[in-house]
Structure 1
Amino acid sequence: MAIDKNTMLENCKKWCQNTLMETLEIEFIDAGDGFLKAQMPVNPRVHQPMGLLHGGASVALAESVGSAASLMFIDPEKQEVRGIEISANHVKSKRAGMVYGTAKIIHKGRMVHLWEVRITDENDLLISLCKITNIVLDRTK
């Protein structure tokens, strides 16, 4: 099932209401063939005690964009997505500004989707490199 960019971004905006994504101010900003991109501000809301971007906030961004990206390939009326594994390598710190998480499909199976999520800053410097595995489940009644 293919979904157009504007519909995907509008759906993501709706799905984020009253969730962790809203709390972290994650906003989905671009979508295309096999990718989805979101941004998140780096401010005290996502800092660890030393004033740096918390690794957990980076992972939350990666899981949010990677899980939402799988929605491009399913029928949300009949199926749902669950993240079943995520890994992250944090390679650079960040104190302020914006980070961008871009999920790109690595493997799209019938039941398993594997995504690479690159988290970069405004200068396209790599902050974290993540991998997320999602499972596609049939919705139960």
Structure 2
Amino acid sequence: MDKESIIKLVSDRSKGTMISTLGIEITDLGDKYISGRMPVDERTKQPFGLLHGGASAAFAETLGSLGAGNQVDLEQYSVVGIELNSSHLKAVKSGWVYGKATPIRIGRTIQVWDINITNQKDEAVCKSRL
């Protein structure tokens, strides 16, 4: 399946899930990476008007899990996160945040992914590992 078809499939299957609720979009996909973006708006802000750390964590887990899923035959195997670590580095008030997930290790039964989330100025907002 080509890249555009996979991105469309993810978008179609995400309707009615947390991915669509948070406005997460997959923007690019390769053999060893996946990229996306998420709006910083009323769906993803905490009461003080800043990007909610939980939204960043959900975005990171989404990218890491989808990247991991792209490494296996999903008709034969399931992919689930077992641990997520996120360091929130910079506040964001509005606009978009961008994420890119790359594998640290793809093993036979365990994968570890590095996820970097940045703001529109390409400044680090959140660093995660799944």
Same fold (TM over 0.5): yes
Instruction: Choose from 58, 80, 85 the match for 1:60.
Output: 58
1:21-100 aligned at under 5 Å gives the runs: 21-100=19-98
Q: 1:30 aligns to what SS in structure 2?
A: strand
CA distance in 2, matches of 1:121, 1:83: 25
Among all aligned residue pairs of Structure 1 and Structure 2, give the percentage whose two residues are the same amino acid: 38
Q: 1:28 aligns to what SS in structure 2?
A: strand
Gaps of 5+ in 1: 133-141
Q: How many residue pairs get matched? A: 130
Name the amino acid aligned to 1:127. V
Question: TM-score, normalising length from structure 2?
Answer: 0.96
What's the CA shift for 1:33? 2.7
Question: TM-score, normalising length from structure 1?
Answer: 0.88
Q: 1:58 aligns to what SS in structure 2?
A: helix
CA distance in 2, matches of 1:130, 1:117: 5
Q: Which stretches of structure 1, 4 residues or longer, exceed 6 Å deviation after superposition?
A: none
What's the CA shift for 1:9? 1.0
What's the CA shift for 1:14? 2.1
Name the amino acid aligned to 2:124. L
Gaps of 5+ in 2: none
Work out whether 1:9 is the aligned partner of 2:2: no
CA distance in 1, matches of 2:78, 2:28: 21
